[in-house]
């Protein structure tokens, strides 16, 4: 069987620690980072469905509603949301609070620190129930969690989660829906298997998931479908907003609240825009700054060895991976942009010649 060839990357000790917590917990809350992407949504939903098949009362609580661009992931709009942000979805704040307060265990996917949960992290951390993370980000907050299952070499949190289920002895519980959710997380976090997916392990797991018979081609088609407003916003960004720093081999752009309103920006509409400048010859680093109510959302991407995670940590209260990171800046868009120009000068020695 394919699963027999998949490497057991999680230590047996961590598996047994997690098993003990899960076995004695009936009410389990699964959560992930704010503004959840495909890997966050896929891993949280797949884990919840897996635990439900084990007889647990599992609730996914998102800090905020997944964007419309993730509707193709089965179940992406079916769980509790802590802060609905007046986005038209049903208000489930009170149910989310109740689930957090009653939880006997928390399992956090695709995050490495409590603050990445968003505003609800205070409610989660106030509950003294054990906390497990299943993640692939660098530098997990060891003081905040009881069991840390973290593998930065993995393509996605969904890859780590599949391995966790396998090592728990529960591969047989994976059905078509769970397989689809795991695949969606891996597919989106690797840019449809372009980035961070050179290890054979990735494709052995994909082969195992495909045995459940979901429509892979449809998922890929649905991933790239977009509303007209996103297409027009994309054109506006490319034509009028992208700024090039030739000496720094970098590009950046920003969108203010007036521009977002002009294009009727909905959550998820600008997902992936930060990658676009990397298609320009010679560009190794890209930054996107989006004006929010009380801060500037920062997205950073790079090629090669340039560590945008260090830029995010030093300048933007954030972090992430070497080639994909983000954070928040508490100032103006112009200040955030000027800081990026300065950062590129300070980190120039990381650029490929």
Residue 160: band (very low, low, confident or very high) from pLDDT cuts 50, 70, 90: very high
Total structural domains within the chain? 2
Q: Is the pLDDT of residue 86 over 60?
A: no
Q: What is the CATH classification number for the domain harbouring 331?
A: 3.10.310.30
Per-residue pLDDT for 20 more than 90? yes
Residues 196 and 250 in one domain: no
Same domain, 144 and 250: no
Model-level pTM greater than 0.85?
yes
Reading the block at residue 155, the tokens are 């393509």
My answer on whether 235 and 211 are in the same domain is no
Given 201, 222, 243, the domain boundary residue is 222
Q: Where does the pLDDT of residue 67 fall: very low under 50, low under 70, confident under 90, or very high at 90 and above?
A: confident
**122 and 164 both lie in a single domain:** yes
297 φ, ψ to 5°?
Answer: -80, 130
Position 338 scores a pLDDT of: 97
309 plus 328 within the same structural domain: yes
Residues 270 and 190 occupy one common structural domain: no
Query: What average pLDDT does the segment 98-122 reach?
Result: 95
* pLDDT score of 265 more than 70: yes
pLDDT tens track for 186-213:
999 998 998 889 999 999 999 999 999 9
Mean pLDDT of 333-346: 97
- Residue 175: pLDDT over 80: yes
Give the pairing type, strands 324-329 and 319-320: antiparallel
Domain stop point among 206, 222, 238: 222
Query: Which residues make Cβ contacts (< 8 Å) with residue 170, sequence separation at least 6?
Result: 50, 54
Q: What integer best gives the mean pLDDT of the chain?
A: 94
Segments forming the whole domain that contains residue 22: 2-222
* Residue 122 belongs to domain with CATH number: 3.90.1640.10
CB of 108 closer than 8 Å to CB of 145 = yes
């Amino acid at each position: 069987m394919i699963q027999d060839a998949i490497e057991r990357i999680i230590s047996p000790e961590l598996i047994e620690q997690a098993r003990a917590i899960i076995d004695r917990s009936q009410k389990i809350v699964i959560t992930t980072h704010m503004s959840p992407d495909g890997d966050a949504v896929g891993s949280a939903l797949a884990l919840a469905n897996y635990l439900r098949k084990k007889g647990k009362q599992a609730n996914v609580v998102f800090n905020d509603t997944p964007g419309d661009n993730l509707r193709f992931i089965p179940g992406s709009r079916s769980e509790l949301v802590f802060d609905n942000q007046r986005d038209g979805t049903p208000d489930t704040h009170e149910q989310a609070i109740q689930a957090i307060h009653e939880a006997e265990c928390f399992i956090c996917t695709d995050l490495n620190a409590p603050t990445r949960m968003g505003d609800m992290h205070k409610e989660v951390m106030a509950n003294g129930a054990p906390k497990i993370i299943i993640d692939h980000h660098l530098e997990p907050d060891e003081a905040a969690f009881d069991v840390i299952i973290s593998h930065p070499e993995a393509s996605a949190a969904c890859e780590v989660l599949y391995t966790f289920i396998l090592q728990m002895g529960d591969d047989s519980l994976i059905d078509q829906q769970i397989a689809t959710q795991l695949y969606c997380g891996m597919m989106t976090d690797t840019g449809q298997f372009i980035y961070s997916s050179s290890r054979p392990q990735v494709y052995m797991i994909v082969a195992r998931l495909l045995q459940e018979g979901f429509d892979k081609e449809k998922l890929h088609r649905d991933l790239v479908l977009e509303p007209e407003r996103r297409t027009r916003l994309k054109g506006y960004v490319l034509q009028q907003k992208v700024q090039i720093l030739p000496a720094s081999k970098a590009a950046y752009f920003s969108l203010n609240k007036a521009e977002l309103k002009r294009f009727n920006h909905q959550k998820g509409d600008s997902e992936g825009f930060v990658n676009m400048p990397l298609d320009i010859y010679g560009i190794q680093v890209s930054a996107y700054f989006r004006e929010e109510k009380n801060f500037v959302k920062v997205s950073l991407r790079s090629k090669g060895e340039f560590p945008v995670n260090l830029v995010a940590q030093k300048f933007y209260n954030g972090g992430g991976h070497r080639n994909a990171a983000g954070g928040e800046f508490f100032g103006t868009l112009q200040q955030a942009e000027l800081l990026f120009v300065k950062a590129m000068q300070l980190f120039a020695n990381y650029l490929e010649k």
